[in-house]
Amino acid sequence: MKLRFFFSILLSTQLACNKGSDPAPQPPPVPASFSFNSLQVNGAYNGYTYYNVDPLPVIKFSFSAPVDHTSATNNLTWRDNAGASVSLKTSFENNDSTVVLQPQSPLKWITQYTLAVPATLQSKKGGALQTAISISLTTAIDSSDKFPRISDNALLDLVQSQTFKYFWDFGHPVSGLARERNTSGDIVTSGGSGFGLMALVVAVNRQFITRADGLARLQKIVDFLKNKAQRFHGAYPHWINGSTGAVQPFSTKDDGADLVETSYLFQGLLAVRQYFNGTDAAETALRADINNLWNAVEWDWFRKNGENLLYWHWSPNYNWDMNMPIRGWNEALITYVLAASSPTHAISKDVYANGWAQNGAMKNGNLFYNYKLPLGPAYGGPLFFAHYSFLGINPNGLLDAYADYGEQNLTHTKINYEYCRANPKGYFGYSGQCWGLTASDIPNGYTASSPANDVGVIAPTAALSSFPYTPAQSMNALKFFYYKLGDKLWKEYGFVDAFSLKDTWFASSFLAIDQGPIIVMIENYRSNLLWNLFMSCPEVKGGLRNLGFQGPDL
């Protein structure tokens, strides 16, 4: 009995030992991962970013293994830049190793979309995609007209009258001056208001408003400039509070006089003085008030202790700390012309020659797109150089020791146009119809765009304010902006400030310094009105002659 018990224990022990020596159960094998092989958008491969895509594209992703249908349906996403999903039609080719995607309905025009294939996509065997994929698609421009076709003259009338609403309907209710931009509240701009004054003259002359209404607005503006707006040695700050007249600092030390902005203001005031030439008491008083303001500007004081150079800023708190000399070539020729034209505080030719012209150092003389540029930086700089001073100064036939100014502005504009047409950076949308680089808003900021600083943003003011120089190219741009992009660009105050087709971005802003030149330079193209008025000022004729200029208006 004991022996049987012993063998029973021994057998149990052996069985236990044999059971413990069996191998552990193995997990099921992991399905092999698979990889992305190729991509086609409408039958072509061009990396992972596509522009000018039609609204019903066909996208094909090819992989190294057949793709699980349900996984493809659940994991692939197609969204616009606002995050809205696109409904997809999904099909398969090449034994399910190619996924074919199409939108259920046409995509929106000029819209950026992202099509994402995440690493959670599975093959039919359950394998995971090795690397996620994402492509960017920007749809094409809708070629249909957004507004009915009208005559070229009617279109120019429409652009001038609609843009004028910025200065008329949106003028500051207390001062009548132009707000800096459509979000500026009480901040008005001295330079932009000068452009607006010239626009007001156009509006009266084209009967967008009556002469009486125009005169009443001008009386409000001039009274505010005379009695409320802060001045420093006769010069105005860049920004002013439109209700109180107090300086609104443009930056910490820019809290006093801005001589260049002041010159834009007086370019407008002198044109107004010449236009409102009636003998009645109201127009006579308006001219007298403008003359008093004009005579009070101490242009020569801004030479900073008698230097042969004008300075841009002076502050009652920081004196000359901004230390920004006004040297050419840029937008400030008008400043030296008015400083030389002052009946009370004129500068001499030496200040112009040494300060502005830098004794000839502002000359260029190089070829750009086979055009020889007389003055300024490479490619001419932003196009506002050819606009701001020349709202009043007629460049045609105007010569001095440094340049033919008609040639300068024509060449500068053609270089800008040819650059956009050549489009060396390959930006979507640039063409002979869609061109114009100048200072404007850009996505999340502001910059002075030019061929040397091209971020892919077109500003309508660049081409439209160039009508006197390139009428055919400017008209083509106007028709493209209005008829083809009008649903994106054309708003209550004319064209929005800027846009980027590559970024599918359209500004919501309007800026006085961009809207004003559109009205004025279109008018100079059509009738020479502002050129004739400003160049008729006897002080301006004398000032230009004193600086060594020659021309038909002198």
Q: Long-range CB contacts (< 8 A, 24+ apart) of 37-41?
A: 37/62, 37/63, 37/64, 37/97, 38/62, 39/133, 39/135, 41/135, 41/137
- What angle, 0 to 180 degrees and rounded to 10, lies between the N-to-C axes of helices 211-227 and 281-296? 40
pLDDT of residue 475: 98
* pTM over the 0.85 mark: yes
Contact between 240 and 232 (Cβ < 8 Å) = no
pLDDT of residue 28: 72
**Coarse DSSP helix, strand, coil percentages of the chain, rounded to the nearest 5 percent:** 40, 20, 40
Domains in the chain: boundaries: 36-139, 152-546
Average pLDDT, 10 consecutive residues per value, the chain (554 residues): 42 46 68 95 96 97 97 96 95 98 97 97 96 97 98 98 98 98 97 98 98 98 98 98 98 97 99 98 98 98 97 98 98 98 98 98 98 98 98 98 98 98 98 98 98 98 99 98 98 98 98 98 98 98 98 96
d(CA 254, CA 317): 9
**Lookup: tokens for 504:** 């599918």
pLDDT of residue 23: 64
d(CA 42, CA 40): 6
pLDDT of residue 421: 98
Please, what is the end-to-end C-alpha distance for the chain in angstroms? 142
Closest by CA to 445, choosing from 436, 431, 456, is 456
Sheet holding 59-63, edge to edge: 36-41, 59-63, 98-103, 88-93
d(CA 437, CA 462): 6
Q: 152-546 domain in CATH 3.40.50.10310?
A: no
pLDDT of residue 27: 73
Closest by CA to 412, choosing from 430, 389, 446, 433, is 389
Contact between 51 and 428 (Cβ < 8 Å) = yes
Q: What is 36-139's CATH number, 2.60.40.1220, 3.40.50.720, 3.30.460.10, 3.60.20.10?
A: 2.60.40.1220
Q: Where are the beta strands (DSSP E) in 166-290?
A: 187-189, 239-241, 257-258
| Residues whose CB is less than 8 angstroms from the CB of residue 322 and which lie 6 or more positions away in sequence, other chains included | 253, 254, 311, 312, 313, 314, 315
Task: Kindly state the helix (H) or strand (E) to which residue 93 belongs, with its residue range.
Answer: strand 88-93
Contact between 164 and 205 (Cβ < 8 Å) = no
Reading phi first (left if > 0) and then psi (alpha if -120 to 50, else beta), residue 50 is in beta
